[in-house]
Amino acid sequence: MAANPHGDNGNSRDNRIASTPAYQADAGIGAGGDNGGSNSGTVGSGGDAGSAPLGPRSQRGGSLKPGGSLKPGGSSSVGSGPGSSGGSSNGTGIAGTGGSAPSGGRNWKALRANSFILLLLAAFVLVDLLVSQWDPMSSSRRFYKNDFTKTLYHHQWDRSGPVFFGNSAVTGAYIEEQAQVPLVEMGMSYGKLTDLKAILQQGLYDFEDQLVIGIDAHTMLDQLTTDPTYQWFKRPYQPYVYFYRDYFKDSGKELVRNAWKGAKRGELDLHTYEPRWIDKELYFGPSKPEDLKADYERYEKLFNWMTLDDLKDNLEALEWVITHAREQALPLKLILMPLNPDPAYPPPGYWKPLKELVQQLAQSADIPLLDVSDRYKPDLFHDLVHLNREVGAPTFTREVDAWIRSFASSSK
C-alpha cells in the first residue's frame, strides 16, 4: 500500500479497508484523478485503482458502503445521500446514487404544500384592499370617527382651505359660523404640533390662504397620549382591518346582536345600527368646583411637573412647520390660547417659559402672534382650558376674527 502523500499515515485501518475489493469499487478511485481533499471523497494519484493512496477520513466524506459499481473510465458512484457529490477536474469524481432534484421542482412542491395558506393570505390582502378603498371609518356611520375625519365630514369632505389648527381648546373656543372670515376649525382631541407636521408631510390636507395655530398648555406635550386612530399613524404596511380592529370589533358585535334579535322575530336584520356620534365635543356652562379641583389634581400628576425638555418633539415640529410655511409661501399665524386665570389653579411651571419661547420664534420668523392666554375671566371658562360655548367661545371668536381681518385691511 502506498504511503499517504500528505505525510499522514496514521489511518492504517482506513488504508486496510481501502485495499479490499468492495471498498475499491465503491470509493471511486480512478486513474488520473487528483487528491484535492474535497468532501466528495474523490481520490486519485495517477496510479490504478488498487494502489491509489487515501487521505484522512475527513477529506473523503463518503460513507463506506459495499456493493458500488466501478464506472468506465475510472469513475464510480459513491455516497449515502441523495445529493450529487463533486468530482475531480478530469471527470473522475463521484456522483450521488440518487441524483439531486432540480431546484424548480422543489420550489413547486413547496408551493403546492402551502397552497392553502398562500390562498388565504392572498384572499386577506384582496379583501383588505377592497375595505381600505371603501374606507368605512370615513364613509359609514356604523363606525367611530376621529376629530380629523369629523372636520372633513362637516366640510363636505373638502380637503382644502384656510385652517385654524389646535387641540380641543380650539374646538371649544372658535365658532367658524360666527366669523366674517371663517377658518376651517381643525381642533382635534389631544391634537399636537407633531400631528400637524404629519398632516403636512403626508399631504392629508391642502392648507390654503393661511394657517392659524392655537397653542395652549397641552398642545406641545410630547408624552400626551393622542387618538391612535388618526390617519397619519397608520403605516403603509399595516392592513386597514388590523389598524382599525377595535372599531371593526365594536361594530361587528352590534351587527351580531341586531341579527340575533331579528332572528328571534323571524327576520334577517343586518341593517339596523346606532349611528356613531359625528360631532366634536363642545363645552357648555361652568364645571362644578369639585370637577375643577379633580381636573387640576389630574393635571398636576400627569403634566404640570414637566419642563421644556418634555416638549422637544413638538417644539421641533413647530420649527418645521414655520420653515415649511415659509417655503410654501403659506401665511402663518400663532395664537396663545386662553388659560383659566383662577388663582386656585396656577398654570403649570413650563407654561411661562413655553410662551416666551413661542414669542421668540414668532418674532425671529416674522410671524404674527396673538396672546390671549391670560385675557379672559374665569366665568368665561367651562373648565381649566376650555372656554364655555355660551359666552367664552363667542367672545374669543370675535376677537380672533377681528385680528384676522386686520391683516386683510392692512394689505389694501
pLDDT at 269: 85
d(CA 394, CA 291): 24
pLDDT of residue 296: 96
Is 145 found in the same domain as 123?
no
306/77: higher pLDDT = 306
Q: In the prediction, which pLDDT does 119 show?
A: 86
> Which residues does 141 contact at the CB level (< 8 Å), separation at least 6?
273, 275, 276, 278
Whichever domain contains 231, its CATH number is: 3.40.50.1110
Residue with the larger pLDDT of the pair 98 and 36:
98
Q: 114 and 55, same structural domain?
A: no
Q: Is 247 inside a domain boundary?
A: no
User: Model confidence over 45-72: pLDDT tens digits?
Assistant: 343 434 334 444 434 444 434 444 434 4
Domain, as residue range, for 150? 138-238+253-410
Q: What local confidence, expressed as pLDDT, does residue 411 receive?
A: 55
| Residues 302 and 361 grouped into a single domain | yes
Instruction: Find cell 380592529 and name the residue.
Output: 245
Cα(65)–Cα(62) distance, integer angstroms = 9
* Residue-level pLDDT at 137: 84
Residue 243 lies in a domain: no
Largest distance between two CA atoms of the chain: 112
Mean of pLDDT over the chain: 80
Considering only CA atoms, which of 242, 25, 54 is closest in space to residue 132?
242
Cα–Cα distance between 194 and 320 in angstroms, integer? 10
- Of residues 244 and 366, the one with the higher pLDDT is 366
pLDDT average, residue stretch 10-27: 39
CB 195 within 8 A of CB 226: yes
- Using alpha carbons only, give the angle 112, 115, 116 rounded to the nearest 5 degrees: 140
E-strand stretches of 24-107: 70-71, 75-76
Please state whether beta strands 206-215 and 332-336 pair in parallel, antiparallel, or not at all (unpaired). Answer: parallel
pLDDT of residue 409: 66
**Nearest C-alpha neighbor of 396 from the set 216, 208, 219:** 216
Torsion of CA 165, 168, 169, 173, to 10 degrees: 80
| pLDDT tens string 324-337 | 999 999 999 999 99
Select the highest-mean-pLDDT range: 237-241, 275-279, 314-318: 314-318
Q: How confident is the model at residue 114 (pLDDT cuts 50, 70, 90)?
A: confident
pLDDT band at 322 (very low <50, low <70, confident <90, very high): very high
**Domain-embedded: residue 248:** no
Same domain, 129 and 148: no
Q: Average pLDDT of 167-188?
A: 97
Region 213-220: mean pLDDT is: 97
Same-domain status, 149 and 121: no
Same domain for 162 and 189, yes or no, is yes
Q: Quick check: 102 pLDDT over 70? A: no
Is 70 exceeded by the pLDDT of residue 44? no
Rg of the chain's alpha carbons, rounded to an integer?
A: 39
**pLDDT surpasses 60 at 17:** no
Does residue 357 sit in the same domain as residue 230?
yes
Between 98-107, 350-359, 388-397, the lowest mean confidence (pLDDT) is in: 98-107
Overall number of domains in the chain: 3
Query: Cα–Cα distance between 76 and 28 in angstroms, integer?
Result: 4
Q: Examine the pLDDT at 291 and tell me if it is beyond 70.
A: yes
Confidence of residue 101 (pLDDT cuts 50, 70, 90): low
Say what the pLDDT of residue 410 is: 62
Whether 154 is in a domain gets the answer yes
Chosen domain end from 51, 78, 100: 100
Q: Is residue 22 part of a domain?
A: yes
246 found inside a domain: no
Tell me, yes or no, whether 92 and 124 share the same domain. Answer: no
Same domain for 67 and 174?
no
Predicted pLDDT of residue 115: 81
Q: What is the 3-state secondary structure (H, E, C) of 103-114?
A: HHHHHHHHHHHC
Q: Are residues 217 and 121 in the same domain?
A: no
Same domain, 111 and 156: no
Considering the domain boundaries, does residue 287 fall inside one? Answer: yes
Residue 294 reports pLDDT greater than 90: yes
The pLDDT of 292-315, averaged and rounded, is 96
The pLDDT of residue 147: 96
Q: How far, in Å, are 1, 44, 123, 348, 401 from residue 37 at the CA level? A: 19, 10, 52, 78, 89
Residues 226 and 89 grouped into a single domain: no
pTM for the structure as a whole: 0.70
- Mean per-residue pLDDT, 363-370: 97
Looking at per-residue pLDDT, the higher value among 83 and 253 belongs to 253
What is the pLDDT, as a whole number, of residue 389? 97
**What's the CA gap between 78 and 61, in Å, rounded?**
10
Give the per-residue pLDDT at 100.
54
* 245 is a domain residue: no
Distance (Å, whole) CA 296 – CA 301: 9
- How confident is the model over 239-261, as pLDDT tens digits? 988 888 888 899 999 899 989 98
Where helices occur in 174-244 by DSSP H, the ranges are 193-202, 240-243
Tell me: pLDDT of 412 over 70: no
